[in-house]
């Protein structure tokens, strides 16, 4: 399989395909000179949305399959007329994609009696870009502006911390009892790391995104709070302030988070693992998501 573009130019070493993916007879490459021999080509939507000349040049080998790769929501996906007929398979966060990928979380079936919650120094936190609160008028900011009238939200700006990656990220998140896991757009199955990160850090996410039932496909129903569980932001704020004073109830609720683990080391490979596996079992076909821009 040929990677025509690296997703967001994030590279990793995959030279030993069998060892890295545990798939027999696989060959993953970014060497474009192998295009005429490639069984499949993985094409990142962002890389072609501004210029279709970034697609592989004709002629296209007759049995070669093209995989459309997009992890952005419909709101954040630039539409390109006429590309549906180019692709055979889809790779996306959507559960109905041919190759469904997302950040992986696992949970223990039973709570650990010795579960130790990270020390909590703040009630409610949110990590945002430097100018987001000033310039964005989306649904999540509308809700935030109403919520902050009734409860303090500790806003952490991305540039104000040394780093919000790895341990520093989890250290920031784990110090909060609750975290605003507000998606930048609301669409089916569009549930990003803003949800998984707090869970893995032992912090309860308050979600604004697709309906609760959609979240429950990926995490236990008691592991998060949905804004739609409350009639308005003021009612949610009162609930959080009540839990802040009732540690026993708070701890009983967050015990679900014991054992939540985000498999970040797998995230780089899983996109390609699914594609490589599927190529061994399918023939040329139309993509499962018929309209590629949703």
118: nearest Cα among 173, 197, 175, 165: 175
Judgement on whether residues 157 and 211 belong to the same structural domain of the protein = yes
Judgement on whether residues 156 and 44 belong to the same structural domain of the protein = no
Judgement on whether residues 112 and 22 belong to the same structural domain of the protein = no
Judgement on whether residues 97 and 116 belong to the same structural domain of the protein = no
Judgement on whether residues 169 and 221 belong to the same structural domain of the protein = yes
Distance CA 239, CA 14 (A): 48
Residue 185 lies in a domain: yes
Judgement on whether residues 39 and 80 belong to the same structural domain of the protein = yes
pLDDT, tens digit only, all 294 positions of the chain: 899 988 776 776 666 666 555 566 677 888 999 999 999 999 999 999 888 899 998 889 988 999 999 989 999 888 888 787 889 888 888 988 888 887 655 555 555 555 567 789 999 999 887 556 655 558 999 999 999 999 999 998 776 555 566 677 788 889 999 999 999 999 999 998 889 888 888 899 999 999 999 999 888 888 899 999 999 999 999 999 999 998 888 877 666 555 454 433 334 455 555 555 555 555 555 655 555 554
The count of domains in the chain is: 2
Residue 289 lies in a domain: no
Judgement on whether residues 48 and 112 belong to the same structural domain of the protein = no
Strand extents, DSSP E, the chain: 2-3, 40-44, 65-70, 89-92, 99-100, 105-106, 122-128, 154-157, 176-182, 204-208, 225-226, 261-262
Residue range of the domain that includes 88: 2-103+265-279
Angle at 24 between CA 20 and CA 25, to 5 degrees: 105
pTM above 0.85, yes or no: no
Judgement on whether residues 84 and 230 belong to the same structural domain of the protein = no
Judgement on whether residues 65 and 197 belong to the same structural domain of the protein = no
Judgement on whether residues 99 and 24 belong to the same structural domain of the protein = yes
Judgement on whether residues 154 and 54 belong to the same structural domain of the protein = no
Judgement on whether residues 51 and 83 belong to the same structural domain of the protein = yes
User: Could you tell me what percentage of the chain is helix, strand and coil, using 3-state DSSP and rounding each to the nearest 5?
Assistant: 35, 15, 45
């Amino acid at each position: 399989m040929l990677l025509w573009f690296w997703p967001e130019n994030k590279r990793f070493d995959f030279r030993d395909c069998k060892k890295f993916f545990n798939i027999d007879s696989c060959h993953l490459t970014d060497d474009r000179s192998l295009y005429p021999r490639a069984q499949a080509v993985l094409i990142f939507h962002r890389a072609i949305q501004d210029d279709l000349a970034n697609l592989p040049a004709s002629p296209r080998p007759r049995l070669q399959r093209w995989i459309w790769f997009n992890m952005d929501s419909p709101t954040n996906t630039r539409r390109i007329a006429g590309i549906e007929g180019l692709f055979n398979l889809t790779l996306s966060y959507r559960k109905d994609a041919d190759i469904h990928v997302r950040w992986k979380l696992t949970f223990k079936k039973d709570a650990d009696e010795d579960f130790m919650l990270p020390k909590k120094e703040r009630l409610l936190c949110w990590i945002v870009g430097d100018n987001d609160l000033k310039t964005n008028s989306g649904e999540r900011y509308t809700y935030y502006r109403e919520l902050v009238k009734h409860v303090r939200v500790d806003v952490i700006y991305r540039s104000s911390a040394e780093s919000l990656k790895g341990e520093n990220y989890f250290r920031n998140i784990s110090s909060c009892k609750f975290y605003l896991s507000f998606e930048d757009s609301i669409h089916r199955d569009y549930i990003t790391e803003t949800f998984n990160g707090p869970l893995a850090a032992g912090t309860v996410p308050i979600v604004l995104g697709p309906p609760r039932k959609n979240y429950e496909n990926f995490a236990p129903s008691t592991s998060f709070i949905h804004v739609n569980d409350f009639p308005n932001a003021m009612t949610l704020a009162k609930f959080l302030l009540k839990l802040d004073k009732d540690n026993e109830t708070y701890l009983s609720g967050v015990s679900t988070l014991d054992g939540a683990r985000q498999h970040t080391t797998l995230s780089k490979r899983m996109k390609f693992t699914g594609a490589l596996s599927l190529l061994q079992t399918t023939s040329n076909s139309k993509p499962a998501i018929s309209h590629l821009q949703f």
